[in-house]
Every structure is written in structure tokens, then in C-alpha cells.
């Protein structure tokens, strides 16, 4: 892990306007050329040599610009789709391969979720340590959250929650869910805090409808719950954290931010320490945080603080982003202008959005498509099937037919509409059963939580050939 106390100030080309990059190039180019020439045979140096060096440097920078991706807790964009291999290196994570999935299945006696099999949850920090502790019979707990911005969650929000439900069942774990109405009040304009608090309760209905165990799940609203040991950890972490650390990790500049924005990362971090909830956990136990990869910077800060305080560092498991309807260069987001599929949408609305807006990897004419087939890597309908179609065999048949030209864009969109509609309508039925009494019971801290771990029947593992082909090695396009 990088030493964030001694971070040297550097210019990041990906976050610097083009005209500033050009100025930086002009300022540094002479020094670079001199350094290169000094190492060359002086008799070989000509004006053409200098021109070649300049061309090489500028070409490298242009490549960097073309491959630009910005991944922060507040913004996710790219020019050619998200490079997750690059993110594993950037965030100091480890890929989830078949060997780790095999161990997960053996330790938890639970078949891997399709998100794991297909490498959609693709990286982690200390998942192996979580498995070590669980194998010894130790309790672990889960922590995730939601920052409310709209009355309904959309399809992309459900990926981490669906996977968290899977993890809760696999580890028989207590789950903490933070509803960060304060965060949205700090970072959004135009509404009072009470607006985001109301959205939080409405969003909680969507979350509860996923099927979390009510005896093992505690949901809290930041604006009226940060107290006791949770607040004690906030105070201690605030003393530990300086503004340079916040700036280094999150890019937030004190001169451009409110105090609330600067302090917010502390509030997201502290629920990842079990001593924040002494009534739920009577000793220091490890926390596993399922999240989309853009949330990882928060837990870089939390893990650094844990090392300082000699607490157990929170473990992380990261998902890819469910792409937006209009293409693979950004995630689905209700904060942007692009259309999204909300969990309140009707069958007709879902069908219209997918048919009209889902970017196609198919060719421009039927004749060309039949001859050349589709590009699955950019086709949004196929990307959604990776998440919402359980059967690997059916997925493979669709992939092979579509990329060979046997299946048309209209046909794969029809299939995708069917699976997404079934998912959303089933969710709506589940949500309709969430009464206010059920809703507020999840927010009630003064109740008995089930801390027992039920022993499961041992499952039979597959052969190594199977595990070698799943996780980050899963051939999602069946090439």
C-alpha cells in the first residue's frame, strides 16, 4: 500500500486540461531531449533525431489521452471501455481467479454466484484472510451502503446488493447498511437534508426487497445515527486524517470544498470497524465490504487508519460497473442525462428503453451483420445478459449465434427485454410486501440479532479444469 502521508505532488495527465498538458510538454521537452541525446553517440545526433524524439513523446501522450479513463467515487468515464486490469494495478488489488473461487466454495460450502464465475466481481483485498478466519470458525460481518439520489434504485444499483445477499447467505453474516443522506446533501445542490433522508427510506425498501435476513441486517441513516462508538471512531479517524491525505486519495481540494465534503470519507470508512458497533460485535472481527471498484479509495483510507490503530483492516471485493444503455464508456447512473432502467419501470418502459437506447454491437445493415456478426464487447444487451442470465450454456449459445451473425440485434434485444423485465417485475412484487413496520424494523438497533453460524452440508467441488476457466479467466465472449 502506498504511503499516503508522503505523497509527492504530481501532475496527472488524465486529470489535466489539454492546454495545460501542452504547456507541461513544452517546459519538459528540452530536458528530456538533452537527457536522451547525452546517452547517444554525438556524431549521430541531427535535427532529425530531435524531431523523432519529439514525435515519439507526443505520440505516447496522445495514446494516453485516447485511452483515458476516470474512475472516482463521483465520476466514471472512459474513451474505450473500462480497463479493469489497469484498475487492479492502480488500486493495488488482486484478481479473483478460479483457485480463490474454489477455496471460497470449499470454505463456505456455497456454489459461486454467477457474478463470481464470470469475473464480474473481479478483484479483492484480503478475501483470502476472510476465508482463513471463517474457516477457523470466526464470525465475519459485511458492510455496504447507499447514497440516495432518486426515489427508486436503478438496475446498476442492484449488482452490489444482489451479491451482498449472496455473501450474507454464504457466510451467515451480520450485515450493516449505511444510508448516507448526509453525503448527498454535501455533494448535491438544490435540496435540503430532509429530502435525502426521505429518499433514503424509500431506497431502503428496494434494498430490503432483495431478501436480506432481517435477523442479521441492520440499516442506519447517517443523519440520525452517528453516535456512541461509531462517533468515537469518527473523532479518532478525523484526528489521524489530514487534508493532504484526503486530497491525495480523493482529489478533493480544501479550498474548493465544504467541511462536510472533506470530512465525508471518514463517515463512510468507520462502519468497516467492528468496534463501531459494540452491541453487535463483542470483539474485533473482520469486515468484508462488497462494492463497485470506484468506492475502493474510501477503504484505502480505512485500511491505513486500521494499521495505525492496530485494528483489523477491512477486506474488499470489487465489481465491474453495469454499463449505461448508451454504451460501455460509462456506468449506469441516475445522476447523468442518459436514460436508465429504474426498478419502478413498467414492462413497456423497459422494452422501449432497451430497444431505443441500448447500444448495439451489430452491423449497420442486415446483410453486413449476417456476414460479419456482432461485436459482443460493445453490445449493451449482451453485457446485461452477463449479469441477469443465470445459465452459462444459454449465454454461450446466444453469444455464438449473435457474433456469428445468425442472431440479429432485434433478437438479442428481445431476449434481454425478457430477462430484465422478469427481474424488475419480480422485484416490484417483493417491494410491495415491505410495509412500514417491516421497513422500520430494519432500522431498529434495540433488538436481538442472530449471531449464530449455521453449519452447511459439504458440497462436492468440480475438477481443476473447471476452476481454471472461471473468475478473471472466464471467457465471457466464448472466443
Q: pTM (2 decimals)?
A: 0.85
Q: What are phi and psi of 465, to 5 degrees?
A: -60, -40
Tell me, what's the pLDDT at 14?
Answer: 37
Tell me, what's the pLDDT at 15?
Answer: 36
The verdict on residue 268 lying in a domain is: yes
What residues contact 350, with CB distance under 8 A and at least 6 apart? 341, 417, 420, 421, 424
102 and 46 belong to one structural domain: no
Tell me, what's the pLDDT at 267?
Answer: 95
Least confident of 69-78, 235-244, 408-417, 460-469: 69-78
CA separation for the pair 348, 359 (Å, rounded): 18
pLDDT band (50, 70, 90) for residue 125: very high
Q: Check residues 328 and 435 and name the one with the higher pLDDT.
A: 435
Least confident of 2-11, 229-238, 424-433, 450-459: 2-11
230 and 282 belong to one structural domain: yes
Q: C-alpha grid cell for residue 444?
A: 431498529
pLDDT digits (tens, 9 = 90+) for 50-90: 556 555 555 544 444 455 788 777 778 778 888 999 999 98
362 and 304 belong to one structural domain: no
Tell me, what's the pLDDT at 473?
Answer: 97
Strands (E), 34-129: 69-71, 76-78, 94-95, 121-125
172 and 297 belong to one structural domain: yes
Tell me, what's the pLDDT at 40?
Answer: 52
The verdict on residue 58 lying in a domain is: yes
Least confident of 11-20, 56-65, 336-345, 425-434: 11-20
CA separation for the pair 57, 310 (Å, rounded): 46
Number of domains within the chain: 3
313 and 243 belong to one structural domain: yes
For all residues of the chain together, what is the average pLDDT? 88
61 and 133 belong to one structural domain: no
Tell me, what's the pLDDT at 53?
Answer: 54
The verdict on residue 262 lying in a domain is: yes
| Mean pLDDT, rounded, for 224-248 | 92
| Mean pLDDT, rounded, for 176-187 | 95
pLDDT digits (tens, 9 = 90+) for 1-54: 443 333 333 333 333 333 333 444 444 455 555 555 555 554 455 555 555 655
Least confident of 92-106, 175-189, 239-253, 310-324: 239-253
Tell me, what's the pLDDT at 18?
Answer: 36
* CATH assignment at residue 363: 1.10.240.10
Tell me, what's the pLDDT at 303?
Answer: 96
> Which residue range forms the structural domain that includes residue 41?
12-66
356 and 289 belong to one structural domain: no
265 and 165 belong to one structural domain: yes
Write the DSSP assignment of 328-356 as a string of letters. EEEE--TTSSS---BTT--HHHHHHHHHH
pLDDT band (50, 70, 90) for residue 114: very high
The verdict on residue 346 lying in a domain is: yes
Q: Percentage of residues in the chain with pLDDT exceeding 70?
A: 85
The verdict on residue 265 lying in a domain is: yes
Tell me, what's the pLDDT at 79?
Answer: 82
Q: Check residues 195 and 70 and name the one with the higher pLDDT.
A: 195
pLDDT digits (tens, 9 = 90+) for 126-169: 999 999 999 999 999 999 999 999 999 999 999 999 999 999 99
The verdict on residue 466 lying in a domain is: no
The verdict on residue 210 lying in a domain is: yes
272 and 359 belong to one structural domain: no
Q: What angle do CA 338, 340, 341 make, to 5 degrees?
A: 165
187 and 311 belong to one structural domain: yes
Q: How far is CA 334 from CA 154, 338, 388, in A?
A: 7, 8, 20
Q: Has residue 250 got a pLDDT over 90? A: no
pLDDT digits (tens, 9 = 90+) for 293-330: 988 988 999 999 999 999 999 999 999 999 999 988 87
Helix H or strand E segment including 176: strand 174-179
Tell me, what's the pLDDT at 278?
Answer: 95
46 and 180 belong to one structural domain: no
Tell me, what's the pLDDT at 247?
Answer: 87
Tell me, what's the pLDDT at 58?
Answer: 52
Q: Has residue 178 got a pLDDT over 60? A: yes
The verdict on residue 452 lying in a domain is: no
Helix H or strand E segment including 177: strand 174-179
Tell me, what's the pLDDT at 140?
Answer: 97
Q: How far is CA 194 from CA 180, 184, 227, 258, 417, in A?
A: 12, 11, 19, 19, 36
Least confident of 15-29, 175-189, 201-215: 15-29
pLDDT digits (tens, 9 = 90+) for 374-397: 999 999 999 999 999 999 999 999
Q: What angle do CA 140, 144, 311 make, to 5 degrees?
A: 50
Least confident of 80-89, 178-187, 426-435: 80-89
Q: Has residue 283 got a pLDDT over 80? A: yes
* CATH assignment at residue 196: 3.40.50.620
355 and 317 belong to one structural domain: no
Tell me, what's the pLDDT at 60?
Answer: 47
Amino acid at each position: 500500500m502506498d504511503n499516503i502521508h508522503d505523497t509527492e505532488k504530481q501532475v496527472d495527465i488524465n486529470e489535466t486540461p489539454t492546454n495545460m498538458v501542452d504547456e507541461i510538454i513544452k517546459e519538459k521537452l528540452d530536458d528530456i531531449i538533452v537527457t536522451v541525446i547525452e546517452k547517444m553517440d554525438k556524431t549521430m545526433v541531427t535535427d532529425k533525431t530531435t524531431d523523432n524524439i519529439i514525435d515519439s513523446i507526443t505520440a505516447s501522450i496522445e495514446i494516453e489521452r485516447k485511452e483515458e479513463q476516470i474512475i472516482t467515487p463521483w465520476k466514471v468515464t472512459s474513451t474505450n471501455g473500462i480497463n479493469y486490469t489497469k484498475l487492479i494495478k492502480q488500486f493495488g488489488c488482486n484478481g479473483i481467479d478460479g483457485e480463490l473461487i474454489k477455496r471460497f466454495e470449499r470454505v463456505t460450502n456455497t456454489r459461486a454466484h454467477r457474478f463470481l464465475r464470470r469475473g464480474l466481481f473481479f478483484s479483492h483485498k484480503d478475501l483470502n484472510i476472510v476465508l482463513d478466519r471463517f474457516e477457523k470458525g470466526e464470525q465475519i460481518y459485511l458492510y455496504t451502503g447507499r447514497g440516495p439520489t432518486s426515489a427508486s434504485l436503478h438496475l446498476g444499483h442492484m449488482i452490489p446488493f444482489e451479491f451482498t445477499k449472496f455473501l450474507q447467505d454464504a457466510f451467515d453474516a451480520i450485515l450493516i447498511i449505511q444510508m448516507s443522506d448526509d453525503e448527498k446533501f454535501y455533494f448535491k445542490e438544490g435540496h435540503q437534508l430532509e429530502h435525502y433522508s426521505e429518499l433514503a427510506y424509500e431506497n431502503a425498501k428496494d434494498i430490503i426487497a432483495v431478501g436480506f435476513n432481517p435477523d442479521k441486517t441492520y440499516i442506519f441513516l447517517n443523519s440520525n445515527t452517528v453516535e456512541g462508538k461509531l462517533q468515537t471512531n469518527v473523532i479518532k479517524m478525523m484526528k489521524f486524517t489530514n487534508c493532504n491525505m484526503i486530497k491525495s486519495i480523493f482529489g478533493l481540494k480544501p479550498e474548493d470544498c465544504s467541511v462536510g465534503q472533506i470530512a465525508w470519507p471518514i463517515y463512510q470508512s468507520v462502519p468497516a470497524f467492528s468496534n463501531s458497533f459494540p452491541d453487535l460485535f463483542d470483539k474485533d472481527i473482520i469486515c468484508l465490504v462488497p462494492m463497485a471498484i470506484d468506492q475502493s479509495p474510501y477503504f484505502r483510507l480505512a485500511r491505513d487508519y486500521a494499521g495505525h490503530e492496530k485494528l483489523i483492516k477491512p477486506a474488499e471485493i470489487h465489481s465491474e460497473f453495469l454499463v449505461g444503455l448508451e454504451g460501455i464508456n460509462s456506468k449506469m447512473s441516475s445522476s447523468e442525462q442518459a436514460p436508465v432502467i429504474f426498478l419502478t419501470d413498467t414492462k413497456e418502459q423497459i422494452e422501449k428503453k432497451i430497444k431505443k437506447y441500448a447500444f448495439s454491437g451489430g452491423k449497420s445493415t442486415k446483410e453486413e451483420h449476417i456476414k460479419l456478426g456482432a461485436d459482443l464487447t460493445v453490445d449493451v444487451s449482451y453485457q446485461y445478459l452477463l449479469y441477469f442470465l443465470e445459465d452459462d450454456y444459454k449465454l454461450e449459445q446466444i453469444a455464438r449465434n449473435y457474433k456469428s451473425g445468425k442472431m440479429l440485434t432485434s433478437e438479442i434485444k428481445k431476449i434481454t427485454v425478457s430477462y430484465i423485465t422478469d427481474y424488475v417485475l419480480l422485484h416490484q412484487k417483493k417491494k410491495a410486501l415491505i410495509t412500514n413496520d417491516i421497513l422500520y424494523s430494519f432500522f431498529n438497533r434495540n433488538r436481538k440479532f442472530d449471531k449464530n453460524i449455521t453449519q452447511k452440508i459439504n458440497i462436492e467441488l468440480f475438477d481443476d479444469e473447471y476452476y481454471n476457466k472461471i473468475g478473471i479467466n472466464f471467457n465471457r465472449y466464448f472466443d
